[in-house]
Structure 1
Amino acid sequence: MTPPLLALNSVEVLYDQVILAIRGISLEVPKGGMVALLGSNGAGKSTTLKAISGLLKPERGRISRGSVSFDGKVIGDSPPQDRVAMGICHVIEGRRVFEHLTPDENLEAAAPMSMSGAAVRAEKERIYEYFPRLAERRRSESGYLSGGEQQMLAIGRGLMTQPRLLMLDEPSLGLAPFLVTEIFGIIRRINAEQGLSVLLVEQNAIAALDVVSHGYLIENGRIVMHDSAEAMKANSDIKEFYLGGGEGKNFHDIKHYRRRKRWLS
């Protein structure tokens, strides 16, 4: 059996030495696989990504228990820049691009220092091939791009590091459904053509489960379900409360649902 590219084993994260943000999370991303981490706002999705990319320390967080392994190597003590060099890319929520720079300049700024000029140009053209909207706006100031174009640029900046694992934090946030479909389709194409592993963090379960092979559901810092995308889409509780099948539910119904969840029993 092929070992996973990424593996979290019973990981707990503490903030300020007292706040337990995630509680014994275990998950895997296979080499060349696409996996979704689903959950509501505040469930612990972004903290999980920061534990993988090494971005907990600036927020006074740390892994207090468990291990994070990448390609068979435990990386819990590695600084963020070393994890980028290993091939881990974290595209942070919020489309944080350099607004005063053009897309071309944004991509160049994200290239590793060791990358030659010819390699930078080749990598930019490859990204523009995947995101033709960016190619059309490559000389415009990035602050004038639409939300969807800025999200494409944020992903493109991540791809400039030539990652082996691309982690995307809420890429659909604030975007129209047709743009979400377009961007997720491009991510799936990159995965298929390059074998790039993807960990997709999303509240939009419908969009995410359409492009990944497997999913994890996190609630209150715990993984409460893990299954294939098809099985999760077919699960009655997932459909009712995460796939838009819960219309007409009142607060009493929701409280009752929280008490009766089958996967917590």
Structure 2
Amino acid sequence: MSLLTLNNVEVAYDRVFLAVKGVSIEVPERGLVALLGANGAGKSTVLKSISGLLKPERGEVSRGEVTFAGQDILALDPPDRVRLGIAHVLEGRRVFGHLTPQENLLAASTMHRDRGHVSALVDRMFETFPRLAQRAKAKAGYLSGGEQQMLAIARALMTEPKLLMLDEPSLGLAPFLVDEIFDIVRGINETSGVAVLLVEQNAIAALEIAHSGYLIENGRILMSGTAEVLGSNPDVAEAYLGGHQRVDYHAVKHYRRRKRWLA
């Protein structure tokens, strides 16, 4: 059963620039879905159309439907979407640098009225992310990039979401940290049943944990399928998985210039 469905969604900025062009995707309950694509392909815009964060950037869903748990959510404000069970971890982590990890977690707990429940959630986050427990008294601004990413995910989980959306969680991190964070995300999906929509340029890491995926380019879905099907596709492998064939760099440069002109 689908938890989240986007049907032929278009997103326009300033009612002029069409950034997303007829995107349709589904995230099943307890599913882990990757949305892959190059920088500027429209991945983050898709996530913002779901969480309701387009308006501050003068964007809007100009066409299509977004339903969550069978409910049309396009008319809902972002806080109402959070209360429904949607959590969005933005690109760049964006933790509160002047607060400790615990204070960051408490800042996301205002929707819960039971203090005992909030305390139990904080304890659960420190169990899930032991590095945060070790740095509990440090200001979040002094945490490493990987620790800040863990804190951003933990803060989102404080809302007890049904769907966790992650925007480029591997950005700027060392490979061993990427592996650690992705293992944690897979564990959250498997043990808690939280569905995950993972936006990534690191297709290798994403497809290792995802059940299925979509490939987006220039605002359009070009391909979809199981993680195994996408990973074995030669075009995907060459463009996103570091294919081993000899690359004609002159042709690559020409292709990139042509893409810029066509865009």
Q: What band does the TM-score fall into relative to the shorter chain? A: over 0.9
CA contact 2:11–2:18 (8 Å) conserved in 1:
yes
What does the per-residue CA deviation read over 1:200-248, in whole Å, with 9 as the maximum and x for residues that have no partner? 0000000000001000000000000001001111110111110011564
Give the unaligned 5+ runs of structure 2: 257-263
Determine what percentage of the aligned residue pairs are the same residue. Answer: 63
Shift of the 256–230 alpha-carbon distance from structure 1 to 2, 3 Å rule, reads farther
Which deviates further from its counterpart, 116-125 or 22-31? Answer: 116-125
The code of the aligned residue for 1:56 comes to L
* 1:197 equivalent in structure 2: 195
Displacement of 1:134 in angstroms is 0.5
* 2:139 equivalent in structure 1: 141
* 2:37 equivalent in structure 1: 39
Helix, strand or coil for the counterpart of 2:159?
coil
Shift of the 255–237 alpha-carbon distance from structure 1 to 2, 3 Å rule, reads farther
* 1:261 equivalent in structure 2: none
* 2:174 equivalent in structure 1: 176
Displacement of 1:113 in angstroms is 3.6
Displacement of 1:253 in angstroms is 3.5
Helix, strand or coil for the counterpart of 2:197?
strand
**TM-score where L is the length of structure 2:** 0.94
* 1:160 equivalent in structure 2: 158
Which deviates further from its counterpart, 161-170 or 105-114? Answer: 105-114
1:1-265 to 2 correspondences below 5 Å:
2=1, 4-245=2-243, 248-254=246-252
What does the per-residue CA deviation read over 1:81-129, in whole Å, with 9 as the maximum and x for residues that have no partner? 1000000000000010011110010000111343311111100111111
Helix, strand or coil for the counterpart of 1:90?
strand
What does the per-residue CA deviation read over 1:24-75, in whole Å, with 9 as the maximum and x for residues that have no partner? 0000000000000000000000000000000011111111110000001111
Helix, strand or coil for the counterpart of 2:39?
coil
CA distance in 2, matches of 1:122, 1:143: 25
CA distance in 1, matches of 2:59, 2:244: 35
Q: How many residues align?
A: 256
Helix, strand or coil for the counterpart of 2:67?
strand
Which deviates further from its counterpart, 116-125 or 26-35? Answer: 116-125
The code of the aligned residue for 1:157 comes to R
Question: What is the alpha-carbon root mean square deviation over aligned residues?
Answer: 1.4
* 1:262 equivalent in structure 2: none
The code of the aligned residue for 1:88 comes to I
Helix, strand or coil for the counterpart of 1:100?
coil
CA distance in 2, matches of 1:148, 1:233: 26
Helix, strand or coil for the counterpart of 2:107?
helix
CA distance in 1, matches of 2:142, 2:71: 42
